[in-house]
Amino acid sequence: MERREFLKKMAVGLGALAGLQLVGSSKVRKEAIIPRRPLGRTGVKLSVIGLGGVTVMGMPQADANRLVHEAIDRGINYVDVAPTYGNAEELLGPVLRGRRDEVFLSCKTLERKRQGAYAELKESLRKLGTDHLDLYQFHALRSTEDVETIFGPDGAMEAFLEARDEGLIRYIGFSAHSVRAALEAMERFRFDTVLFPVNFVLYFKENFGPQVVERARQKGTAVLAIKAMAKGKWPKGAKRGKFPKCWYMPTSDPREASLALRFTLSQPVTAAVPPGNERLFRMAMDVAADFVPVTHGEVEELKKVAEDQEPIFKLDI
């Protein structure tokens, strides 16, 4: 009798402990999930952090697979890549084939003419092992001449519209490193997205970005942010050290990086794509999972950091 009673109590205790552990693990999973925001007028919701193709570029396939699975398991559903990102398309293709319906896949082209853009789209589809892209973008518009070319006779926009009609792409967007080019592009077409630098140093030292974000809001165009964790240009002669794939100097101090990313996510943006570095990407996922908007005091702190930095882009209007 005593033994039976002991075993009964033991079973109850173990059940309670298991339940406590389950609740605890569920809490951990819930806290680790990346929140999502609406992508403009598309009806799609994206994770506020995207996985950029540069992050997996150059990795062994097994490491790329591991990182992609980890990201998707944590709630990342936004993946952005381009042919210029080394072998990123080839690395993403095999791992995404098994989880294609879980991600919003975006790609880009630097081609400005119709034939080149269509050919590069088809090649990206082949490498990525998919029959469509969720978002296709004109990559890195730098001037009004770029804009004129893509919208001109036999321009790349013709290929984009044809591809959309064929079901090869769902939405049309662009990325830009020029305020002037971004504003001009949005006047010429009802883009679904604009991928643009939204960064504390650029905002505070150059007034670079707010006007693009505001115009996008007026147009109903979703803003996808890049360079959120950029600090400035690498000092002359500096070695990139732990960040060989970052052409700009990133914010690597955990607190500073968190403030920088939270500043960007506190703006009217859908998502931010962190620098192409595995450690910074994981840091960004952690920050996003516990995201709270920056406070006035934190903004003032970022302004002081920005004072000593050389902005990576200059205002051109």
Instruction: Provide the Cα torsion 40, 43, 49, 53; round to 10°.
Output: -100
pLDDT in tens, 104-140: 999 999 999 999 999 999 999 999 999 999 999 999 9
Is residue 240 within 8 A of residue 171, CB to CB? The reply is no
Nearest to 284 by CA among 213, 226, 206, 232: 226
- Backbone φ, ψ for residue 160 (5° rounding): -65, -45
**What's the whole-number average pLDDT of the chain?**
91
- Alpha-carbon distance of 7 to 117, in angstroms, equals 71
Task: Give me the pLDDT at residue 29, please.
Answer: 41
The confidence band for 21, taking pLDDT boundaries of 50, 70 and 90, is very low
Task: Give me the pLDDT at residue 239, please.
Answer: 86
Overall average pLDDT of the 229-258 stretch: 92
Domain positions in the chain:
45-307
> How many residues are recorded in the chain?
317
Indicate the pTM of the whole model.
0.89
- Alpha-carbon distance of 70 to 61, in angstroms, equals 14
Overall average pLDDT of the 283-295 stretch: 97
The residues, ordered by sequence, that sit 6+ positions from 308 with a Cβ below 8 Å of its Cβ are none
Task: Give me the pLDDT at residue 3, please.
Answer: 42
Question: Is 60 exceeded by the pLDDT of residue 45?
Answer: yes
The confidence band for 34, taking pLDDT boundaries of 50, 70 and 90, is very high
Element (H, E) at 250: strand 249-250
The confidence band for 51, taking pLDDT boundaries of 50, 70 and 90, is very high
pLDDT in tens, 252-267: 899 999 999 999 999 9
- Alpha-carbon distance of 193 to 187, in angstroms, equals 13
Element (H, E) at 47: strand 45-47
Task: Give me the pLDDT at residue 22, please.
Answer: 33
- Alpha-carbon distance of 309 to 54, in angstroms, equals 24
What is the architecture, at CATH level 2, of domain 45-307?
Answer: Alpha-Beta Barrel (3.20)
SS3 state at 98: coil
Overall average pLDDT of the 131-155 stretch: 98
Task: Give me the pLDDT at residue 169, please.
Answer: 98
The 10 Å CB-count burial string (b at 16+, else e) for 294-303 is: beeebbebbe
Nearest to 216 by CA among 163, 172, 269, 255: 269
- Alpha-carbon distance of 228 to 236, in angstroms, equals 22
